[in-house]
Structure 1
């Protein structure tokens, strides 16, 4: 794998201004790609792209609004031409879709569950529909969806998010087969399942108001053989491996990056 093996390719990262999205955008820039950092907040997307340097640029888009995504695709085409890579990093959890001592499973509101399901599932499917047209038209491309270990090891309290990420992994497998059979095997679809990384979406579960680790955070670390939370940049090598020319025979899989969490039985 050469240092700038993505030179000449155009990538779009949804949720690119978030903690994990920014790290993955950085990896793509360093590998030579021109990167469109998509974010619902235009200012934040532009700031993230500016900080990345290279050939990164910010684009405003809402992953739950098809017309917004279509406009983003037009903007990218006008700026760089057709796309070659899509990384679906938009997603996250919300307290309204999680149980707690104050909020039992039976009292969870439909609105909160819908919000999390829509953001993670539809927020992955819609970008694949809009940007995936480029891949079908040109006969090559790569999609990497961001799942979560919560999809494979459902987490207590996290109802909506665990179910949503399980759906993302199922969709990843479905879309890999669809592109291979209906278009070309040169369009590959895979996913990465991060273990526990501290983000703005899960901070409320892992950090106490005084800044100390919550009992839940301490339990997570004790069940992670690596003995710590992940660092966003540690997802980069897996992303680049999935995009590398040497990985042309890899499609329809989900790669865990979890410090051994999924391998540990707790005993």
Structure 2
């Protein structure tokens, strides 16, 4: 247990996802008090039982990052058990098949090209990623503003810097997270440090259909990604933990705010030649 973390009250949105659950497990081992926030109470309870069977270190927070009232209620529940929130991890996010093209470059024969994308799907992706970080920052930020160790960490993506083919809505939404991170860091300068982590390519349930063929082998897209990643592999969620710990720990990153840290196996540094 790390003493610096044992004094922290942390809320994680999207806690049951691949990245969120990895963060929860890592921070629980360091002794932090954690609010596990998500829409599916059963999944949250399952995660809680994995990392904190006596329920002394974690609390289940059922809430929707797009429903401000549910977030306010979740904060009250957290406050009643652990006190005020020090750290917010905005992990909730995602893409939608309805906002994803089938073709990488325009093909009028494609079953789903740019002209076929569903506006509601695009709106859903923008809401989930941008508003889904904006609203929790509003609600939990009211606690964090009074914490000497206060910080907000958003989850961006490497496609925020250079958009990936097929996913225009998700790329645009994550670009908005970079901008929001910088804006919020400036707005709260001297009160709350605000940074973001930009994962490179990780194999998750969300992108499995893009990276794997039906027989389980890597798709053409996956092989293309690996060919552009100097470390030659996809990331593991645990690869993000060192950066997370550093950004949270005020003794190590106390003068760091408004940055987006790539954790990408060298993808962003490689020109392809």
TM-score band, normalised by the shorter chain?
over 0.9
**Counterpart-to-counterpart distance in 1, 2:25 and 2:147:** 26
Stretches of structure 2 lacking an aligned partner (at least 5 in a row): 103-109
Partner of 1:172: 181
Q: CA deviation at 1:173?
A: 0.3
Partner of 1:37: 36
Q: CA deviation at 1:140?
A: 4.5
Partner of 1:128: 137
Matched residue SS, 1:144: strand
Whether the 8 Å contact between 2:145 and 2:191 is mirrored in structure 1 is no
Partner of 1:74: 76
**Counterpart-to-counterpart distance in 1, 2:187 and 2:27:** 26
Partner of 2:155: 146
Partner of 1:264: 270
Whether the 8 Å contact between 1:153 and 1:262 is mirrored in structure 2 is no
Is 1:237 the equivalent of 2:242?
yes
- Normalising by structure 1, we get a TM-score of 0.95
**Counterpart-to-counterpart distance in 1, 2:260 and 2:123:** 24
**Counterpart-to-counterpart distance in 2, 1:190 and 1:51:** 28
Alignment of 1:220-231 (within 5 A): 220-231=225-236
Q: CA deviation at 1:201?
A: 1.2
Distance 1:236 1:138, change over 3 A: closer
What RMSD in Å do the two structures reach over aligned CA positions? 1.3
Whether the 8 Å contact between 1:50 and 1:57 is mirrored in structure 2 is no
**Counterpart-to-counterpart distance in 2, 1:56 and 1:223:** 39
Q: CA deviation at 1:178?
A: 0.5
Stretches of structure 1 lacking an aligned partner (at least 5 in a row): none
Partner of 2:94: 92
